[in-house]
Chain A
Amino acid sequence: MSKHLPRLLVPVGAAILVLFFMPWLPPNITGQDLAAGYVSGVEGFGFFYLNLLCAVLIIGAGVFLWRNKYNKLASFVAVVSSAVALMVTFFGMSTLASPVILNIDFVNLAMYGFWGIMAASIVGFIAGFASFARKADNFKFLLLSPAVLVVAVVTAYPLVNTFILSFREWRLDRSPRPEGFVGLENYLRAFDDRFFWNSVYVTITFTVISVVLSVVLGLAMALILQKPSRMNTIVKTTLIFPFAVAPALKGFSWRFMLNPSWGVYDSMIDSVFPFMADVVWLANPFWAQFWLAISEVWGWAPLIALMFLGALGSISPDIFEAAKVEGANNFELFRFVTLPLLKPVIIIVTLLKTIFSLKMFDQVVTMTGGGPGRATQTLNYYVYLNGFRFIDMGYASALAYLLIIALTIFAIFYVRALYGKEGI
């Protein structure tokens, strides 16, 4: 009996934690409800006692593990249950910290409980983990897990959370926490929203312009700088600079240079094409989109040129020699030798640039602010507007998910193109 009791503590503890907290949490719960035992379903069985129970369970798990060092299952359960307990604590604390009127005594009690359970679950976690990692072949998991955990928290958690939010109503000005579930309403709303379609159109236009120009200009620069000479070496070393400039700053500096009264690019263009002297670049929908794309191309084309230069450098010169001996002229050399050899790189670069164009955000804020009108409101910016200007979190989440779907398609192609054949 004494041997089996602690063995039971861990799974029972985990089960209680999951059953009492996680799935039944109604959307509009307040701290008062928690205090009254609303969540556990048992009148008077408040947070504090539940916390105590969890703490006892997890400490029990720790002791048990300490005595049975190499039990894989037990260590696994201990790790999972303490992780769940930590999450519950985190949630509970954030509930208390949220702006709800609460009974002060309750808050104090609950806080002690939370700190207790947090300490206990950390102990349980470390104990479970240490026992797991003691075994020689578990060493790799010990090293890998901090990174995996952190990446899960900072990327997988938002993905899941945004997904759930996209099915809920939540206007921050009305309620401090999510309101009820509304099914697909947020998504349906997007399809009826002409500003959403406008942003889709803007995003596609921007992506096409910037991808085509970046790749074409990048290829052109690579071909120009391909020949070894002192001049070209100097130019090549400067190619990394535009990409290193903060995108937000790119937007500002291009806006400065395009100003109709004192912008330096504006006066250069006016002196070459006098008929364009009257164009106010960023007040014209077409030109605003164009220059927004150019500010992005300015960063990417040199980087893409460097990628192509790397790929060109790895092509054997014998191939070009052979083609020349066969009588190919420069154009034929490019069309039938260089281009086919660069094809894999071109595909990867195009996909990569497409993904980053769909994600582009910073320059919209600092260069055009989405204007003139809505001419440069990309989908990304529209999500931002809805989420953080109109503070409509549910709708913003749904829009964000539509963006993710588009990105996922390109990401799949990209991963296929990179690793499809040979694996990582």
Chain B
Amino acid sequence: MQNYVLKKRISRILEIIAALACLFFVLFPIYWLAITAFKPEQYVYTNAIIFPPTLANFYAIFGEALDFSPYLINSIVISSATVLLALPMAVMASYVLSRYAFKGTTAILIWFLCTQFLPPVVVVIPFFTLFRQLGIIDTRISLIIINLSLTLPYAIWMLKGFVDALPTEIEEAAQVDGCTEFQVLRRITLPLMMPGVITTAVFSFIIAWNEFLYALVLTRDNATTMTVGLLATQTHRGVQWEWMAAAGLLVMIPIFILSMTIRNYFVEGMTMGAVK
């Protein structure tokens, strides 16, 4: 009997150790980046975890050594504009794809799904040459257009899942009461879709915010985003890691806050509903 209790206790301890190992694996890189951002320079290149915290690195990347503020503004403007452009189209398209079955619905859906597997480098080659000819390389508008290739098909898929989950009875009742088809969408379905719309907006924002290759190829100075701005911490003395950590924290924090608001949908969202 005592043997059994002992065994149980050992397995319980092993479980806790395993869970702690998971926690360490998942959180340690984030923790390390976060504390590095607040380290004074002489502590950055040590493994110290006790140090007097300082904001000097943030002052450094906002004006004293580097200027990240245009990058931050670009990232915010580009990501928001991408979301605001994609969402109305996605709402309309997902409503149709969910509610009307006609020839080609499946084909369109699979097409949209497959766009997610398109390597970005394929998209960027023709757009680079096109934007170059049009003279809009290194502008925010070019990045907004090309980011739609990532966010729009994604948002349609995501929203379709939400519309599928809504009951059709209310819409039918509204139609019986004399709503036109457009009124049904605007006054009945759209308000019911709102949680889905917000979730989708957050996901699309995360995708656009974390995007790297398009911004790397299509920008020089004017439209550089935060993720590409990280490269600016590479100076002639090598990467200034304390600046990189501070800038990295600014890339990470908004996304973490947004992810927490939608954490119940996170898995479904990040895999386009592959696993529910």
Nearest CB of A to B264, in Å: 10
Q: With A154-B149, A238-B23, A238-B27 given, can you name 14 additional A-B contacts, CB distance below 8 Å?
A: A143-B185, A146-B89, A151-B148, A235-B23, A242-B29, A253-B245, A255-B239, A256-B241, A267-B47, A302-B26, A310-B267, A348-B275, A365-B212, A407-B118
User: For B230, what are the chain A residues with a Cβ–Cβ distance below 8 Å?
Assistant: 248-249, 252, 366
In the complex, 24 of the A-B residue pairs with CB atoms within 8 angstroms, ordered by the A residue number, are A140-B102, A144-B92, A146-B93, A147-B89, A154-B148, A155-B153, A158-B118, A172-B129, A176-B133, A221-B22, A244-B256, A244-B259, A246-B255, A247-B210, A249-B248, A253-B33, A256-B33, A256-B36, A257-B32, A365-B212, A408-B117, A410-B117, A419-B110, A424-B110
Is A248's CB under 8 angstroms from B133's CB? Answer: no
Is B259's CB under 8 angstroms from A240's CB? Answer: yes
User: For A245, what are the chain B residues with a Cβ–Cβ distance below 8 Å?
Assistant: 30, 210, 252, 255
Point out residues on B near A: beta carbons under 8 Å: 15-16, 18-19, 21-23, 25-27, 29-30, 32-33, 36, 44-47, 89-90, 92-93, 95-97, 100, 102, 105-106, 108-115, 117-130, 133-135, 145-146, 148-149, 152-153, 156, 181-182, 185, 206, 209-210, 212-213, 216-217, 227-228, 230-231, 239, 241, 244-245, 248, 251-252, 255-256, 259, 263, 266-267, 270-271, 274-276
Is B276's CB under 8 angstroms from A154's CB? Answer: no
The 5 closest A-B pairs by CB, nearest first: A147-B93, A154-B149, A161-B126, A246-B210, A143-B92
Is B274's CB under 8 angstroms from A352's CB? Answer: yes
User: For A366, what are the chain B residues with a Cβ–Cβ distance below 8 Å?
Assistant: 230-231
A277 within 8 A of B: no
Is A98's CB under 8 angstroms from B252's CB? Answer: no
User: For A310, what are the chain B residues with a Cβ–Cβ distance below 8 Å?
Assistant: 267, 275-276
Is B271's CB under 8 angstroms from A352's CB? Answer: yes
With A242-B29, A247-B210, A384-B213 known as contacts, the answer to whether A158 contacts B126 (CB < 8 A) is yes
Q: For the complex, what is the distance from the CA of A42 to the CA of B186, rounded to whole Å?
A: 53
Q: For the complex, what is the distance from the CA of A423 to the CA of B113, rounded to whole Å?
A: 14
User: For B25, what are the chain A residues with a Cβ–Cβ distance below 8 Å?
Assistant: 298, 301
User: For A419, what are the chain B residues with a Cβ–Cβ distance below 8 Å?
Assistant: 110
Q: For the complex, what is the distance from the CA of A349 to the CA of B23, rounded to whole Å?
A: 22
Is A241's CB under 8 angstroms from B26's CB? Answer: yes
Query: Contact check: which of A143, A158, A252, A414 meets B93 at CB < 8 Å?
Result: A143
Is B27's CB under 8 angstroms from A359's CB? Answer: no
Is A151's CB under 8 angstroms from B244's CB? Answer: no
Point out residues on A near B: beta carbons under 8 Å: 93-95, 97-98, 136, 139-140, 143-144, 146-148, 150-151, 154-155, 157-159, 161-162, 165, 172, 176-177, 221, 224-225, 227, 229, 231-232, 234-235, 237-250, 252-257, 261-262, 264, 267, 298, 301-303, 305-307, 310-311, 345, 348-349, 352, 355, 358-359, 361-362, 365-366, 380, 383-384, 387-388, 393, 396-397, 400-401, 403-404, 407-408, 410-411, 414-415, 418-419, 423-424
User: For B115, what are the chain A residues with a Cβ–Cβ distance below 8 Å?
Assistant: 151, 155
Is A380's CB under 8 angstroms from B228's CB? Answer: no
**Which of A147, A154, A235, A257 has the largest number of chain B CB atoms within 10 A?**
A147
Q: For the complex, what is the distance from the CA of A345 to the CA of B228, rounded to whole Å?
A: 35
Is B125's CB under 8 angstroms from A147's CB? Answer: no
Is B16's CB under 8 angstroms from A380's CB? Answer: no
User: For B118, what are the chain A residues with a Cβ–Cβ distance below 8 Å?
Assistant: 155, 158-159, 404, 407
Q: For the complex, what is the distance from the CA of A58 to the CA of B62, rounded to whole Å?
A: 53
User: For B92, what are the chain A residues with a Cβ–Cβ distance below 8 Å?
Assistant: 143-144, 146-147
Q: For the complex, what is the distance from the CA of A102 to the CA of B108, rounded to whole Å?
A: 43
Is B210's CB under 8 angstroms from A358's CB? Answer: no
User: For B209, what are the chain A residues with a Cβ–Cβ distance below 8 Å?
Assistant: 246
**Which of A243, A246, A310, A362 has the largest number of chain B CB atoms within 10 A?**
A246
Nearest CB of A to B240, in Å: 11
Nearest CB of B to A99, in Å: 9
Q: For the complex, what is the distance from the CA of A41 to the CA of B210, rounded to whole Å?
A: 49
Query: Contact check: which of A95, A162, A256, A404 meets B126 at CB < 8 Å?
Result: A162
Is B245's CB under 8 angstroms from A424's CB? Answer: no
Query: Contact check: which of B112, B245, B274 meets A418 at CB < 8 Å?
Result: B274
Nearest CB of B to A41, in Å: 24
Nearest CB of A to B197, in Å: 14
With A248-B212, A249-B251, A404-B118 known as contacts, the answer to whether A97 contacts B135 (CB < 8 A) is yes
User: For B117, what are the chain A residues with a Cβ–Cβ distance below 8 Å?
Assistant: 355, 359, 407-408, 410-411, 414
Nearest CB of A to B64, in Å: 21
Is A147's CB under 8 angstroms from B30's CB? Answer: no
With A366-B230, A384-B213 known as contacts, the answer to whether A400 contacts B121 (CB < 8 A) is yes
User: For B217, what are the chain A residues with a Cβ–Cβ distance below 8 Å?
Assistant: 384, 388
Q: For the complex, what is the distance from the CA of A158 to the CA of B19, rounded to whole Å?
A: 46
Closest to B238 in A: A259
Closest to B149 in A: A154
Query: Contact check: which of B15, B120, B206 meets A224 at CB < 8 Å?
Result: B15
Is A264's CB under 8 angstroms from B135's CB? Answer: no
Closest to B211 in A: A246
Is A143's CB under 8 angstroms from B95's CB? Answer: yes
Q: For the complex, what is the distance from the CA of A206 to the CA of B90, rounded to whole Å?
A: 35
Is A311's CB under 8 angstroms from B134's CB? Answer: no
**Which of A146, A158, A250, A404 has the largest number of chain B CB atoms within 10 A?**
A158
Query: Contact check: which of B29, B33, B97 meets A144 at CB < 8 Å?
Result: B97
User: For A358, what are the chain B residues with a Cβ–Cβ distance below 8 Å?
Assistant: 119
Is B26's CB under 8 angstroms from A239's CB? Answer: yes
Is A94's CB under 8 angstroms from B134's CB? Answer: yes
Query: Contact check: which of B22, B102, B122 meets A403 at CB < 8 Å?
Result: B122
Is A97's CB under 8 angstroms from B149's CB? Answer: no
Q: For the complex, what is the distance from the CA of A301 to the CA of B24, rounded to whole Å?
A: 13
User: For B270, what are the chain A residues with a Cβ–Cβ distance below 8 Å?
Assistant: 243, 303
User: For A254, what are the chain B residues with a Cβ–Cβ distance below 8 Å?
Assistant: 29
Nearest CB of A to B259, in Å: 5
Q: For the complex, what is the distance from the CA of A231 to the CA of B33, rounded to whole Å?
A: 24
Is B122's CB under 8 angstroms from A264's CB? Answer: no
Is B276's CB under 8 angstroms from A246's CB? Answer: no
Q: For the complex, what is the distance from the CA of A139 to the CA of B270, rounded to whole Å?
A: 31
Q: For the complex, what is the distance from the CA of A241 to the CA of B256, rounded to whole Å?
A: 7
Closest to B147 in A: A154
User: For B130, what are the chain A residues with a Cβ–Cβ distance below 8 Å?
Assistant: 94
Q: For the complex, what is the distance from the CA of A384 to the CA of B274, rounded to whole Å?
A: 29
